[in-house]
Amino acid sequence: MNIATFTLNNGVEMPAIGLGVFQTPPQETIAAVRAALETGYRHIDTAASYGNEREVGQAIAGSGLDRSQVFVETKVWISDYGYEQTLHAFDKSAGKLGVDVIDLLILHQALPSAFDRTIAAYQALEKLLADGKVRAIGVSNFMPDHLARLLGATEVVPAVNQVEIHPYFTQPDVQAADAKHGILTQAWSPIGGITSYRGRTGAHSTFDDPTIAAIAAEHGRTPAQVMLRWGLQQGRSVIPKSTRPTRIAENLDVFDFDLTPGQLDTLDALNTGARGGPAPEDVTIEAFGRDIPDA
């Protein structure tokens, strides 16, 4: 299968769909990543804080694919922010992943409560980029004011800003700020997983939304496929997570239909403005800090 790609702002090509592995237990990660690579995925999104980088790397190494064929994205946790700490965080992640070069390394959170550390961490990413240890660098959960502060203090414009986006939370202001600066918006929880696993149930989950279900029925598709198509058609990178091979395949099978402009608008109109994840300001070292082990 030929997967569409995005060209990042430094010319690097990234597959438009990746497999997310947040909350994928380490013991299930090899099977999930293997299933994804066999189905045709060529992009995996993990993070130091997910505790499964080693298994992601093992699955890639055992896939028979050349290293250059798989785009590996991971994230530096806030506990490792700071210039020297973040350089070391690269060694930890690369060591666990078993790779010399990480395709896309991003800061997991803005950490506005200690933004000087965020800037130092980003300057370490710039150094890793200059040294050829990463092919692209970016950020996650950065709001427009965080982006503005970062851009004012650093040289390299992030390639990607990975933020919560699904039909119930579309963050148009963040998407506009990303676009203005040439940053690709990458949607986490692109099918609204967080609307089901974060305490909301039944009718409040995107998977059970009647409007999404109706559009899916019109195309003979599933709600997840409609939400992924919506993201792709609006120019977002999407990284759906599943540990089930049938869903992993379903989530990649989205390149042979198009939503109409009216359907895209209908999905946009489901935005509640209420995020599922923590507010970026609330993610502090005190509340969320944790040790990331060495490789």
Residues that bind ligand NDP (CB under 6 A): 20-22, 45, 108, 140-141, 162, 188-194, 197, 207, 222, 224, 239-244, 247, 250-251, 277
Give 285's contacts (C-beta < 8 A, 6+ positions apart): 78, 79, 111, 113, 114
- The distance of closest approach from Cβ of residue 192 to ligand NDP in the complex, given in angstroms and rounded to an integer, is 5
Reference 137, options 103, 165, 114, 88; nearest CA is 103
Catalytic residue among 50, 81, 122, 168: 50
- The distance of closest approach from Cβ of residue 155 to ligand NDP in the complex, given in angstroms and rounded to an integer, is 23
CA distance linking residue 186 with residue 165, whole number of Å: 8
Q: Which is nearer to ligand NDP, 117 or 241 (CB)?
A: 241
- The distance of closest approach from Cβ of residue 124 to ligand NDP in the complex, given in angstroms and rounded to an integer, is 19
Q: Which amino acid is at 107?
A: L
- The distance of closest approach from Cβ of residue 243 to ligand NDP in the complex, given in angstroms and rounded to an integer, is 4
- Which residue has the CB atom at the shortest distance from ligand NDP? 193
Reference 33, options 77, 72, 90; nearest CA is 72
Q: Which is nearer to ligand NDP, 11 or 27 (CB)?
A: 27
CA distance linking residue 181 with residue 33, whole number of Å: 32
Assess whether 50 carries a catalytic annotation.
Answer: yes
Q: Which is nearer to ligand NDP, 132 or 201 (CB)?
A: 201
Burial code of 87-109, b = ≥16 C-beta within 10 A, e = fewer?
bbbbebbbebbbbeebbbbbbbb
Where in the sequence numbering do the catalytic residues fall?
A: 50
